[in-house]
Structure 1
Amino acid sequence: MSLSGALSNALSGLTANSRSAGLVASNIANATTESYGRRTLDLSARTLGNSGGVWIDGVTRNVDPAVLADRRLSDAQSGFADEMQSFASRVETLLGPTDTAGSLVGRYAAFETALLSAATDPASDQRLKLVAQRAEDFTTMLNQISVEIQDARTDADRSIGSQVTRFNTALGRVSELNTAISDSLLRGGDPASLMDQRQRVIDDVSDIVPLRSVARENGAVALYAASGTVLLDPDFHSDPVEISFTPQDPVTADLSIGAGTLSGLEVNGKAVNSSNDGALGGGTLGAQFQIRDIVAPDMQAAIDGIARDLIERFAPGGPDSTLGATDPGLFTDAGTAFDPLDETGLAGRIALNSLVDPAGSGTWRLRDGLGAAVQGPVGEARLLRGYSDALDALMSPGSAALGSGAQSFAQHVADFHAAIAAARLRADGEQSFSSAQNTALKELELSKGVDTDAELQELLRIEQHYAANARVITTVDELMQTLMNI
């Protein structure tokens, strides 16, 4: 080998060593950076003439596609579980622990106790006022639960709108990065940083919709929802799909997607199944539709059923014989008699009859009847005992949401509270499982990424190669100096 050939060989090695050292430094610096793909230098033997040396063929970004795909699906599953747990906890917190005075169960127990207390001394104005106050407290609690459920639906609707906007933006960004990566490869550049950025963009929205990524030519990727819905595929169309949604603020109990009064999703102007089992279900987007259109309306129906049962137990034909057939009873629908055809949202409208307002002077009507013209004997407790008996009576509910079994009113309240608590427990379990699975997959993904020990060993190897190549150059220089001195 000639001196010039040896020098060329060593210089190519120094260039490769310098590039390798830079990649190792980048790998170590980003060892814990999410969406970073470990870089390795691709080399091949240089066969130009007889001088040897190496060619730098490019940089390979190392990512395990199987682990990445599983982790992204887990992101969506974990996001769904988190949203459902948050909603269940929100409602359960509002109901309160059953053993506290301010809870739904506690307020009903206080109303029932006040009735029993007043029945033992019906002449006591103070006890009658306490009955009215406790009844009002209970209806206020029903109002608050209804408002909170509709607030949760409104929040879900807003979240859907913001998530759709965010997802559309991400799809557009991935499409732009596909183009930039392909251009870089065609020019012979290194698109690894662009690929990191693209993975980061996809990872940022992988909790919204479960995503599948498929490699395409020239470094591009196609994106599909887990349902198979095409979101972006450069082999068919360069532009991503456009997802549309029209927010509704506020969402009230009478609005539903089935009636067409709430918006669903459209993909490129075509309506798609917007439920969690639909085209874009499975992540936080599906969770918000599940809350807005299924879980929260079911809870609203149950609490409306409880309000209806309470109204009907004290309606005309019940314990108060002074009521006319069309008169509102002790509990009213916003001050009027209840219409069985207008049950939806009743829990938000139920109110104590204003004739026995605890702030007024008519609480004697709790003893003598709402329709009584004048006060009767102050020792008469028949009606107060009748109210208690009406609450304890086993009656088949008029609301389909409470089933068909005959139960006391206290049992309906207890069943509702138990159902909410059970839903929260299920949500806790699903959240715990999905979170553990997601954490394990993230750790597996990192373990297949940068190993700092291995990178440091590689750096030592590079140092040795660098020293060997540098020694060759020094030797060639010494030989050249010797030749020039002859």
Structure 2
Amino acid sequence: MSLSTARSTAQSIFNNTARQTSVIGTNISNVQNGDYNKRTVMIVSTEHGARVGSVYREENAALFRQSLESNSSASAQATLTDGLTKEIANLLGGGNYDRSPNTYLSTFRDTLSSYGAKPADTTLAAGVVSAAKDLVQSLNSTSTGLQAIRQDADKKINEQVGNLNALLASFETVNTKVIQATSTGNDPNSALDERDALLKKISDLVGIYSVTRENGDMALYTSEGTTLFETIPRVVSTKPMESYNAGAITQDVFIDGVAITPGDGGDTSAKGSLQALLQIRDQVAPTYQRQLDEIATALILMFKEENQNGNGSFAAGLFYDIKNPSLPILPDPAAGEPKEKLDIKHMPVDDMSTRIRISAAVLPPTGNPALIRDGGIAGEAYRANPDGSSGYSELLDNYVESFEDVKFGFSDSSSIGGDQSVLDFSTASVGWFESLRSSASNADETKTALMARTSEAYSNVTSVSLDEELSLLLDVEQSYKAGTKLLSTIDEMIKTLLDSVG
């Protein structure tokens, strides 16, 4: 080896170790940064010795794609589970459903039964009124709470639409950096880290898949196939709902003019929190409110009072609709149905759980609780016990029996429709919600675990290991020492040569 070659080799060692040290230092400084992919210096051999060929960014496209998908699923499932367990379930008193309308309905039926056994007992009569008030308050507060949950979900939807538009605008900026760096031969790795970090945030909101094109350019599509970004970001839009009652018209979320589909089921099909929020706002809460509305409507029908003059007309009794307090309840003359077939479909249902009230005619101190026993809440013409006999219980017995014997045609839009009693329907309502909540909780655990595993697998490939970096740093130090030793030897040889000719 000539002196010039040896000197060139030493210079290459110093250049290489300087670059390696810089990259290792950057890796170590980002050891806690989850959005940083490890860099590796690639050393190549040339006829003039080893040199730094490029700085390679560790990545695994398949694992990253799976990580984004599992992140979207977990985000959606967590959003739905939180809505069911932390919001709706709390309205019902938690896991025991102590404050659910079904609990108060059963208590009301039991107090009626007790009063029917001792119709002369004024204390039991007052207990029936109190139980009826609790039932109405439960229906009112639960329905109002569901509307508040829908309003909160709608607010979050509008916020997330704004966030998604902002993320897509940032994605365009960073994607341009990647294209420019790649096409000009500069280092795109920092821009790639930024872009991947944005993809993770976007996948929290909507399910995505990406296509990488020439010069590192990337196009984004939703899991439903709608274009999210291609050269420029697509517009994501929605409008706040004007009201949140049962009949309110919902506002879709559009991406590039295509509406997002809400998730479905406890183990939701949603990808990203936007679809899950739409599921809560447009499916879960309205369905449960529909169930409450039909329970309230059934109660008004069950406790209607019949005109004793024999004209076949009815009027609201113990329970009534505050919006239409004087509305008579009649069989549908067009259908020609007899009064025995009087059904929920003959009554306005929307928001009835919010509108239902207990008649002031039975509320102390001015009202008389005994009217529940005797009839006549709607007026003297509807009084079934005109003599006021304290032993009369026929009306009370009919009320108690109606909880199980009278069948109503509940609508399919309640998800538990069909001909059944109000008590069976109320119990099925709790079962429907518990099944949905339980399924969501189990799926949340599964999807969270899957997200953790895929994230860990990707991290194992791309993240910085401090032990590995320190070990590499020791190797670089040894290379540097070898270079200094070689340079020292060259210096001694030149000095010897100069001394011999001097």
My pick for the range that moved more, 412-421 or 475-484, is 475-484
TM-score normalized by the length of structure 1: 0.88
Per-residue CA deviation, residues 300-355 of structure 1 (Å, 9 max, x unaligned), is 2222221122111112449x999983522211112344683521221121111222
Which runs of structure 2 are paired with 1:354-365 in the superposition (5 Å)?
354-358=360-364, 360-365=366-371
* Aligned AA (1:284): S
Tell whether 2:11 aligns with 1:11. yes
Alignment-derived partner of residue 290 in structure 2? 301
Q: Distance in 2 between matches of 1:347 and 1:329?
A: 16
State the Cα distance separating 1:469 from its structure 2 match: 1.1
Tell whether 2:397 aligns with 1:385. yes
**Aligned residue pairs: how many?**
468
State the Cα distance separating 1:357 from its structure 2 match: 2.3
Tell whether 2:279 aligns with 1:290. yes
State the Cα distance separating 1:65 from its structure 2 match: 0.8
**2:449 aligned to which of 436, 443, 448:** 436
Q: Distance in 2 between matches of 1:460 and 1:350?
A: 78
Q: Distance in 1 between matches of 2:101 and 2:142?
A: 9
State the Cα distance separating 1:359 from its structure 2 match: 5.1
Q: Distance in 2 between matches of 1:124 and 1:323?
A: 32
Q: Distance in 1 between matches of 2:276 and 2:391?
A: 57
Q: Distance in 2 between matches of 1:2 and 1:98?
A: 84
**1:353 aligned to which of 359, 369, 374:** 359
* Aligned AA (2:362): V
Q: Distance in 1 between matches of 2:367 and 2:387?
A: 12
Does the 8 A contact of 2:31 with 2:466 survive in 1? yes
Tell whether 2:79 aligns with 1:94. no
State the Cα distance separating 1:27 from its structure 2 match: 2.5
My pick for the range that moved more, 331-340 or 67-76, is 331-340
- Per the alignment, in what secondary structure is the counterpart of residue 223 of structure 1? strand
Alignment-derived partner of residue 81 in structure 1? 77
* Aligned AA (1:43): I
Q: Distance in 1 between matches of 2:208 and 2:120?
A: 70
Which runs of structure 2 are paired with 1:295-444 in the superposition (5 Å)?
295-317=284-306, 325=313, 327-334=315-322, 335-337=325-327, 340-358=346-364, 360-369=366-375, 370-373=377-380, 376-397=388-409, 399-400=411-412, 401=414, 402-407=416-421, 409-444=422-457
Alignment-derived partner of residue 469 in structure 1? 483
- Per the alignment, in what secondary structure is the counterpart of residue 33 of structure 2? coil
What RMSD, in angstroms, separates the aligned Cα atoms of the two structures? 2.7
Per-residue CA deviation, residues 6-58 of structure 1 (Å, 9 max, x unaligned), is 223212221211221222233344344312111011333344xxxx2344333
State the Cα distance separating 1:127 from its structure 2 match: 2.4
Per-residue CA deviation, residues 91-121 of structure 1 (Å, 9 max, x unaligned), is 2332236867544333223212221232344
* Aligned AA (2:162): T
Which runs of structure 2 are paired with 1:45-444 in the superposition (5 Å)?
45-47=45-47, 52-89=48-85, 90-96=87-93, 102-233=99-230, 238-248=231-241, 250-255=243-248, 261-268=249-256, 270-276=257-263, 282-317=271-306, 325=313, 327-334=315-322, 335-337=325-327, 340-358=346-364, 360-369=366-375, 370-373=377-380, 376-397=388-409, 399-400=411-412, 401=414, 402-407=416-421, 409-444=422-457
Alignment-derived partner of residue 20 in structure 2? 20
Unmatched segments (≥5 aa) in structure 2 = 330-344, 381-385
* Aligned AA (2:363): D
Does the 8 A contact of 2:81 with 2:440 survive in 1? yes
Tell whether 2:443 aligns with 1:456. no
Q: Distance in 2 between matches of 1:323 and 1:199?
A: 75
My pick for the range that moved more, 439-448 or 112-121, is 112-121
Does the 8 A contact of 1:208 with 1:284 survive in 2? yes
Q: 1:144 to 1:175 in 2, by over 3 A?
A: same
* Aligned AA (2:286): P
Q: Distance in 2 between matches of 1:166 and 1:301?
A: 32
Q: 1:102 to 1:298 in 2, by over 3 A?
A: closer
Q: 1:92 to 1:284 in 2, by over 3 A?
A: same
* Aligned AA (2:456): E
Alignment-derived partner of residue 258 in structure 1? none
Per-residue CA deviation, residues 246-298 of structure 1 (Å, 9 max, x unaligned), is 1225422111xxxxx32212334x24354348xx9522111111222222222
* Aligned AA (2:319): F
Tell whether 2:35 aligns with 1:35. yes
My pick for the range that moved more, 200-209 or 38-47, is 38-47
Unmatched segments (≥5 aa) in structure 1 = 256-260
State the Cα distance separating 1:299 from its structure 2 match: 1.5
My pick for the range that moved more, 427-436 or 472-481, is 472-481
Q: 1:391 to 1:481 in 2, by over 3 A?
A: same
